[in-house]
Structure 1
Amino acid sequence: MTSRSTAAIPEAGSAHRAPRRAAGGARAPRAARVDWLWAALLTFGVTVTGSGTPQLWRDELASWNAAIRGTGDLVAMLGHVDAVSGLYYLLLHGWVSVFGDSATMLRMPSAFAMAGAAAFVVLTARTLFDRRTAVFAGLLFALLPSVSRYGQEARSYAFVLLAVTAATWLLIRALDRPTPRRWAPYALAVAAAGLFHIVSLLFLLPHALIVVLRWWRDRRGRTVVAFAVTTAVALVPVIPLVLLGQRQVGRQISWIKTPHLRSIADIWDSLFGSPLVSLAIAALALLPLAWSRGRRPAVELVLVGAVPIVAAWVVSQGSTSYFMDRYLLFTVPAWVLLAAAGLAALRPRPLGVAGLAAVVLLGLPDQRQLRTETVKAGRDGEEAAAVIAKGYRPGDGFVPVRGTDSVFMTDFQVEYFLPPKVKLRDVFAQRSAVANDDLFPVECGQPEKCLGTTRRVWVVTWSGTQNPYHKLPKEQAEALEKHYKPVEKTKVHGLQVSLVERVR
C-alpha cells in the first residue's frame, strides 16, 4: 500500500498531543468540534422516525408493565424478577409519569441514549484517527439497521451501548492523560454499564488488555494501578445487583441455548440487523490493520469488539448461557469505528463515499422491514383489544392464554390497548401481578370457584383452531366449558377472541 494511503490513519496516541488539529497539521475547523452533535441529532432523527408504528413486543410490554407501577410496587417486584433491568425500569417509570406511555414515548428514551452513543462514537473516531473517519463513523452508526431497531425499543440495550461507548472514549482520554479528573467519569460509565446490564461488564476485559498494552509500550506503572482502583470502585454499586441477579438467573434466561461455533456467525449477522451489512462491516473493519500507522488503534478496537463476544461464548458453555445478540450489542460501535477507518483510508477519496453509500443501500431492505407493523409482534394485541372494547359491558371477565405460554404476555398485549373505560376482571388471577410483586399473577387453584357469577367472559388465545379454549390450562378450559357457551369468535392474525356467556 502506498504512503498516500497511510496518511489517512495517524499514529495512535497522537490525539493527546494535538487534539484539535486535522490530519495535515492545520487547526481543525470550528465545525469539526461539533461533529458529535450532528451525529447525535441524525441518529435521534433516524431512530425516532416511525417509532410508534411497530406494536410493542413482549419484552417491551414487560417494560411498560413495570414502568406504570408505583415506585414502591416496582422496587418490590425487582426483588423477585428482572432486577438486572431495575435501573432502566426506574428511569422509564419517571419518564412515562411525565410523558405518558404511548409506543413513541416508551421508546424515546432509547432514541436519546442511542443519540448519545453516536456522539461518543464520533469523539472516539476523532481521538484515535481523524475527522474524516469521525464523519464516516457518525453516518455509518446512525444508518445501521440494528441502531434503528434498538433505538426504537423500550428496553435497556441502547443505554448499555451508550455507557460502554462513553467508557471506551473516557478510557482513551484517561490513558493519554491519567489524572483523577479523567478516571472519575470513567468509573461512572463503568458503573452505569453494569447497572443497566450485567453482561456488558465483559467490556472490562478488552479495556484491561488495552491498559496492559499501553503499559508495555510506555512502562507507566501508575496507569495500571489507577485502572485497577477505578474499576474496583466502579463495581462496588454493581455487586448487590450481581448477587440478586444470580438468584433470578434460572428464571430469567434459562431458555437461552448453549452456543456452538456456528452461533458466532449467526450473532454477527444479528448485531448489525442485516446479513449483507454485517459482511460489508467485516470487510471494511479489516482495512485499518493493513497500514502500520493505523494498526495500533485498530488492534485496540478489535479487542473491544471481539473479546466480549468470545468471552460470552466461553462463559456460556457452562450451566447458564448469556450468548444473545442484544446482550452483546455494545460491541457494535467498535466495529463501526474500524469500518469507518477503512472507508476513510480508501483512495481515491470518492471511493470511501461510494463505500458508505453501498453499505447504507445494502441495509435499506432491513431498515424498511424495521419500520413495518409486523417487525416485532404484528398488530394482534391492538386488534384483539378493539374487538373487546367494541362489545364490552361492565362486569365482563377476561381470560388470556397464560399457563406454559405466559412468557408471550398475551394479557399485556391486550391490556395495553384497552381504553380506560374498559375494566375487565381477570377471572383466573387469584392474586394480581402487582400484589404478587411479579410480572405475572398467581393463577387460581380452583378455576370453577374463581369464575364466580361472572356472566360474560372474553377469552383470548391462539388462532388456528375452532376451540376457543386452545392452550388454556386443562382445569380452566373445563370450568369454562362446563358453565359457558361461545357466542362470538373473532380471529385477529395470531390471536382468537372469543366471547362466552354463562349458561348454568
Structure 2
Amino acid sequence: MDRRTRTTLLGLLLLAAALRFPTLGAQSYWADEAATVDVLRHPLGELLGAVRDQESTPPLYYLLAWVWTQPLGDSEAALRALSAVFGLATVPVAAAIGARLGGARAALAAAALVATSPLLVWFSQEARAYALLVLMAGASVLLLLRVLELPSRGRLLAWGACAGAALATHFFALFLVAGEVVWLAVALRADRRLLAMALAPPAVLGLALLPLALDQRSAGRASFIGEEPLGTRLAQVPKQLLVGYDAPGEVVAAVLAGLLALAALAGLRRAGGPVRALAAVAAASVLVPLLLVVAGDDYLVTRNLLAVAVPLLVLLAVGTAGLPPRAGTVVAVALATVGAATAIAVQVDDGSQRENWRDATAAFGHEATGRGRAIVVLPGSGRVAVEHYLPGARLLRRPEVVDGLVVLGVAGTSAGGRTDAPAPPGQVPGFAPPTVRRASTWSAAAYAPADPAGAAVDPGALGALGPGAVVLLQRP
C-alpha cells in the first residue's frame, strides 16, 4: 500500500475504535452477558466444566476472557473491552483480504465497511464469543488466500491453526471452514501431503470438540431459537447483517443499505476465480444451516451466521472496486456512512440497546434488609442478569415470609421487534400499594407488607403476576 492508502486505513482504524471503545460501559449486561460473567467467576480448573454445563458454545473465548479478567475485572467496560479489541483487529484483516481480491480500493472499502458495520460494532461491545468468531473466521479466509498464493508448510499450518481456533470459538464456524476445506482440496489436489498437513489441526480439534457439542446439544439450551417463526428469522438475516438489530429509522437505513449493497454486487460481474470461490463458500455457510432446519436442527439466527460477516462485507467492498472509480467510491462511502450513523444512533437511543437490568435493579437498592425480599423478574429470561446485579438473589422454591417485594419489568426483543417493559401490578395480596419507578425501557415497583410482621409469599402465586415470570428471594 502507498502512503495515502496506509494513512486512510489508519483513519478507518481510529473510526472503528471510536465506535467501539468509548461507550463500552454505557449499557447494562443482558442475560447472556451475565451468564458469561457467571462462568468466568469459576476457578480456571472448573472453567471447562462450567462452559459444558452452562453454555452452548466451545471454550476458547471463555479461556481468553478468564485470563483477561484476572487483572482487569469483570465490569461491563473491562470485560467488553476484550471483544472490542477483537473487533478492532478485524478491520486490518478485512483490508488485507480486500487487497488480495480487489486491490487498494477494495482494501479501503473492506476496512470501512467492517469498521462501521452496526452488527459488528454491536458484538464488539458484547461480552460473548461472537467478536472472536468474526475475527477468527476472517483470519482463516486471509490465511487461505496466502496459501493459494504460495503453498508452504508454514502457511498451511497457520491456516489450520486459525481454522481450528474458529471451531473452538463457535460450532457454526464449521460451515465456513468446511467450505474452505473444499476450496483447498481443489487447489491442492496435486499435493495430498500438503493438504493433509493443513487439515490435521482443524480435524483433530473438531473431533475433540464433538463430545462437548453433543452434550450441549442434548441440554437444549438453544431450543428457544426455534420458537420464533422461521420466515421472520430468514428476513432478519440480510437486514441485520447490513444494519444490525434495532435502531431509530432502521427501515429507511435497511432499504438504503440494501440498494447500495445491490449496486456493489453489480460490480462483481467480472470478478475473478478467487472472488467467485469466496462467494460460494459464504453462500454455503448460510445455506447449510438452512438445510439443517429442514432436517430438524433449527439454530438459524443471525448471530450464528456471523462467520460469514467479513467474507460478505469484503465481497461488497470488492464489488465497489469493480464499479467505475467515482461510482464505486460513492457506493462504498455511502454504505459506510449508513453503517456509522446507525451504530451511533443505537448508542444514543435507549430503546435500541440491551435490556437494562442494571438500572432496573438499582431502582430500590442492591441490598436486602430484615428477612429479605422477593423479586419478581419480568420476563424471566432476565433471571441471570438480576442475580448478577442483586447479590444473594436466588430462585424462590417454597413459601417464605419477607419484608418486601419488588417487581422488575424490562423491555426486550421478540420476533416482531421490541417489546415494552411489562407494567407492574397495582395491587398484590398481603402488600400495600406499590411505589413505582419507571424509565423508557424498564419499570420497578416496590411493595411493603400490609402487616409490619411481614408477608408470606408463595412462588406459584407471584409467578402468576406476569407471563414467564421468575421469582427470586434475596436475603441480606
* TM-score (normalizing by structure 2): 0.80
Of 435, 456, 459, 1:489 maps to 435
Report the Cα distance in structure 2 between the residues aligned to 1:399 and 1:241, rounded to whole angstroms: 41
Higher Cα Rg: structure 1 or 2?
1
Among candidates 273, 279, 294, match of residue 302 of structure 1: 279
Unaligned 5+ segments in structure 2 are 245-252, 410-421, 457-476
Distance apart, 1:113 and its partner CA: 0.6
How far did 1:75 drift? 3.4
Does 2:113 align with 1:140?
A: yes
Identify the residue that residue 407 of structure 2 maps to in structure 1: 460
Q: 8 Å contact 1:133–1:341 — kept in the other structure?
A: yes
CA distance, structure 2, for counterparts of residue 261 and residue 299 of structure 1: 28
CA distance in 2, matches of 1:397, 1:90: 36
* Cα distance in 2 for residues equivalent to 1:399 and 1:503: 10
> Is 1:183–1:230's contact at 8 Å kept on the other side of the alignment?
yes
How far apart are residue 411 of structure 1 and its match?
5.1
Residue in 2 aligned with 1:256?
Answer: 225
Structure 1 residue 287 corresponds to structure 2 residue 235: no
Counterpart CA distance in 2 for 1:309 and 1:70 is: 37
Q: Would you say the 8 A contact 2:137–2:163 is kept in 1?
A: yes
Instruction: Give the equivalent residue in structure 1 for 2:213.
Output: 245
Measure how far apart 1:203 and its partner are. Answer: 0.4
Deviation per CA, 1:413-458: give whole Å up to 9, x if none. Answer: 3643x5xxxx5x43x64xxxxxxxxxxxxx53xx12xx3xx65244
The one-letter code sitting in structure 2 at the alignment partner of 1:118 is V
Change in CA separation of 1:226 and 1:400 when aligned onto 2, cut-off 3 Å:
farther
Measured at CA, do residues 297 and 199 of structure 1 come closer, stay the same or move farther in structure 2, by a change above 3 Å? same
Q: Distance in 2 between matches of 1:30 and 1:196?
A: 36
Name 2:198's counterpart in structure 1. Answer: 230
User: Cα–Cα, structure 1 residues 47 and 140, in superposed 2: closer, same or farther, change >3 Å?
Assistant: same
Q: For residue 130 of structure 2, what is the amino acid of its counterpart? A: Y
Q: Give the CA RMSD over aligned residues.
A: 3.0
Counterpart-to-counterpart distance in 2, 1:331 and 1:304: 9
Out of 65, 68, 72, the position equivalent to 1:92 is: 65
Distance 2:455 2:146 in 1: 74
The match for 1:266 among 236, 244, 259 is 236
Whole-angstrom CA distance in 2 between matches of 1:134 and 1:305: 19
SS in 1 for 2:295: coil
CA distance in 2, matches of 1:214, 1:179: 13
- Residue matched to 1:361: 337
- Among 8, 11, 29, the alignment partner of 2:2 is 29
- AA at the equivalent of 2:224: W
Corresponding residue SS for 1:196:
coil
Give 3-state SS (helix, strand or coil) of 2:199's partner.
helix
Contact 1:486 1:499 in 2 (8 A): yes
Q: Deviations over 1:314-355 (max 9, x none)?
A: 1122232121101111212112212212222332x3332222
- Counterpart of 1:191 (choices 146, 164, 167) is 164
Which whole-Å deviations, capped at 9, do the CAs of 1:448-488 have from their partners, x for residues lacking one?
2xx3xx6524433444242666xxxxxxxxxxx5xx53474
Q: Secondary structure at the match of 1:401?
A: strand
Q: Distance in 2 between matches of 1:278 and 1:213?
A: 35
Match status 1:44 vs 2:17: yes
Report deviation, 1:168: 0.7
Q: Does the alignment pair 1:498 with 2:446?
A: yes
Deviation at 1:186, TM superposition (A): 0.8
1:375 counterpart residue number: 352
TM-score by length of 1: 0.76
1:435 matched to which residue of 2?
Answer: none
Residue 264 of structure 1 and its aligned partner are, at CA, apart by 3.6
* Residue 238 of structure 1, CA deviation: 3.4
The sequence identity of aligned pairs, in percent, is: 22
State the 1:165 CA deviation.
Answer: 0.6
1:267 alignment partner AA: V
Q: Give me the whole-angstrom Cα distance separating, in 1, the residues matched to 2:40 and 2:159.
A: 29
Partner deviation per Cα, 1:180-200 (whole Å, 9 max, x = no partner) = 111111111111111110111
CA distance in 1, matches of 2:77, 2:302: 24
Deviations 1:73-111 (A, max 9, x none): 533322322151532223222222211233222211111
SS, match of residue 497 in structure 1: strand
**Aligned partners of 2:87 and 2:124 also within 8 Å:** yes
Cα pair distance change 1:461/1:386, threshold 3 Å:
closer
**Deviation at 1:401?**
3.4
Q: How does 1:423-462 map to 2 (within 5 A)?
A: 425-426=392-393, 429=395, 444=397, 447-448=398-399, 451=400, 455-462=402-409
Match of 2:376 in 1: 401
Post-superposition offset of 1:143 = 1.2
- Tell me the distance in 2 between the aligned counterparts of 1:196 and 1:413: 27
- Give me the whole-angstrom Cα distance separating, in 1, the residues matched to 2:42 and 2:311: 37
